[in-house]
């Protein structure tokens, strides 16, 4: 639901609740309202009115940001956020993430690195929290060696989901850099241990393909790839479910930029041969 309509819905609910609360004593005792009942009703009414005022203020303060997001006007959104972050100094994790995502969508990778260099001096924790985005900019710009070093130094930050994807991107960056044995070690571990079906399937796919052809341990690569493939097939069942899983996470930038490989991995995972 669009931001504007969601706020309007909440405001209408609150107004309706205030109206019902105001009429509640009269419904119980007519127009002669006892003082004790009147005082009981005032508290929730005041609370609801304060909530209503807060929602209106929130809507007005965030209208521009959410309208640009809904229109998917990425250049305008980037400009708006630049004013908020660079000029007003509002380095919130959400706004930094949105600005980095906007740059990635319009392929302005240099600006992502510029943003990272600025934020790291002001709020290092924000960079660590959004490390997947900043690392992705290095991958997309072709700085694969730099990307591998970045993912390696940041893969221990964030929640379990982010850590697992950081490890996968570390292996992927090594693969793109031609460091096949390093990529083999990372993908081999993820293919048999990851709880994320996409990570397991992608790791197995690259082990069976690029790494089996280029690594010094091709037999081991194919053996572990088979184990990873079996794990995915057991849980996902078919290629349609695999594509649904990928589509469900389609708004995550680190998923979008490797969607081609996800599609290829799905065909390999569920092919008869």
For 63-81, write each residue's pLDDT tens digit. 788 788 888 899 999 999 9
In this prediction the pTM is 0.80
The structural domains of the chain, with segments of one domain joined by +, span 1-71, 160-273
Question: Is residue 20 within 8 Å of residue 27, measured between CB atoms?
Answer: no
Burial (CB count <10 Å: 0-12, 13-18, 19+), residue 128 = middle
Q: Which of 28-37, 160-169, 176-185, 216-225 has the lowest mean pLDDT?
A: 28-37
Question: Is residue 79 within 8 Å of residue 49, measured between CB atoms?
Answer: no
Residue-wise pLDDT tens digits, 231-254: 999 999 999 999 999 999 988 999
Question: Is residue 218 within 8 Å of residue 69, measured between CB atoms?
Answer: no
* Per-residue CA distances from 214 to 103, 175, 206, 207, 219 (Å): 34, 10, 11, 10, 11
Question: Is residue 161 within 8 Å of residue 132, measured between CB atoms?
Answer: no
> What's the pLDDT at 1?
46
> What's the pLDDT at 63?
77
The Cβ-side half-sphere exposure at 215, using a 13 Å CA radius, reads 24
């Amino acid at each position: 639901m669009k931001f504007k309509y969601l706020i309007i819905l909440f405001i209408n609910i609150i107004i309706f609740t205030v109206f019902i609360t105001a009429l509640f004593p009269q419904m119980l005792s007519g127009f002669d309202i006892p003082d004790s009942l009147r005082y009981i009703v005032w508290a929730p009414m005041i609370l609801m009115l304060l909530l209503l005022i807060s929602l209106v203020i929130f809507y007005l303060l965030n209208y521009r940001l959410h309208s640009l997001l809904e229109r998917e006007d990425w250049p305008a959104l980037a400009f708006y956020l630049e004013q908020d972050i660079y000029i007003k100094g509002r380095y919130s994790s959400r706004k930094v993430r949105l600005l980095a995502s906007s740059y990635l969508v319009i392929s302005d990778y240099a600006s992502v690195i510029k943003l990272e260099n600025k934020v790291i001096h002001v709020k290092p924790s924000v960079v660590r929290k959004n490390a997947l985005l900043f690392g992705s900019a290095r991958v997309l710009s072709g700085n694969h060696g730099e990307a591998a070093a970045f993912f390696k130094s940041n893969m221990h930050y964030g929640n379990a989901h982010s850590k697992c994807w950081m490890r996968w991107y570390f292996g992927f960056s090594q693969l793109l850099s031609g460091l096949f044995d390093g990529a083999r070690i990372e993908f081999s571990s993820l293919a048999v241990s990851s709880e994320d079906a996409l990570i397991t399937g992608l790791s197995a796919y690259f082990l069976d393909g690029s790494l089996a052809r280029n690594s010094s341990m091709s037999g081991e690569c194919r053996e572990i790839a088979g184990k990873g493939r079996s794990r995915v097939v057991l849980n996902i069942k078919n290629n349609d479910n695999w594509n649904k899983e990928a589509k469900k996470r389609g708004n995550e930038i680190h998923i979008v930029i490797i969607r081609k490989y996800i599609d290829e991995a799905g065909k390999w995972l569920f092919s008869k041969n």
